[in-house]
């Protein structure tokens, strides 16, 4: 009985590790996602999932560094097949697959196979706007 319980726990842990994370949806209209700048705090990414009709969720995150705001898919060119994305760790973004981490200020100019894939967005008054068509372009990573 004890051996069966241990095997069940190991199986649950392994299956949980292979799942794509899901995050809250950001407010959106038909054309764009609109994230209030007040939700973005210095010190780390804010993760969201976008759900299109009949499609899987597409994960992305938004970072605030001073007055600059940037966004990225929760995926990289090398590790995206694992569908694990990144995690927030002490203000850094860390790949869940290979455990490589990046400081917020290094992401904007990042080049390499494990850097998060950039997602276009812009500040419009008190919100950060990402066009839905730009989010959908990253669907292949999820």
Single pTM value for the model: 0.81
In whole angstroms, give the CA distance from residue 137 to residue 35: 19
Contact 96, 66 (CB under 8 A): no
The answer, yes or no, to whether residue 85 has pLDDT greater than 90, is yes
The answer, yes or no, to whether residue 114 has pLDDT greater than 90, is no
Q: Summarize the confidence of residues 124-130 as an average pLDDT.
A: 96
Name which residue leads in pLDDT, 87 or 44. Answer: 87
What the chain holds in terms of domains, given with CATH numbers, is 20-141 (2.102.10.10)
């Amino acid at each position: 009985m004890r051996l069966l319980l241990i095997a069940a726990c190991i199986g649950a842990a392994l299956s949980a590790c292979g799942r794509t994370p899901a995050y809250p949806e950001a407010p959106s209209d038909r054309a764009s996602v609109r994230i209030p700048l007040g939700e973005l705090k210095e010190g780390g990414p804010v993760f969201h999932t976008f759900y299109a009709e009949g499609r899987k969720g597409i994960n992305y995150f938004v970072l605030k560094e001073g007055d600059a705001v940037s966004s990225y898919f929760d995926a990289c060119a090398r590790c995206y097949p694992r569908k694990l994305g990144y995690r927030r760790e002490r203000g850094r973004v860390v790949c869940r697959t290979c455990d490589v981490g990046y400081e917020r200020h290094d992401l904007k100019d990042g080049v390499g196979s494990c850097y998060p894939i950039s997602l276009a967005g812009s500040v419009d008054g008190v919100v950060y706007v990402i066009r839905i068509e730009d989010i959908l372009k990253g669907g292949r990573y999820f």
